[in-house]
Chains A and B, each alone.
Chain A
Amino acid sequence: MALQQFKEIGKSASIQWRVIYALLMREILTRYGRHNIGFLWLFVEPMLFTTGVTVLWTLAKAVHGSSLPIVAFALTGYSSVLLWRNMPSRCIGAIEPNLALMYHRNVRVIDVFLARLLLEAGGATISFIVLSLFYIYIGWLEPPVDVLTVVQGWVLLAWFGAALAMFLGAVAEKSELVDRLWHPFSYIMFPLSGAAYMVDALPASAQKYALYVPMVNGVEIVRDGYFGNQIRAHYDLSYLLAWCMALSVLALAQVIVVSREITPE
Chain B
Amino acid sequence: MNQEPNSFSLEYNGRTLQVEKLNLPGYRAYRVSAEGSISLIVARAKDFEAHHFWTSIPEGRQVEAERVGAVVEEYLRAKNYI
Binding between chains A and B: no
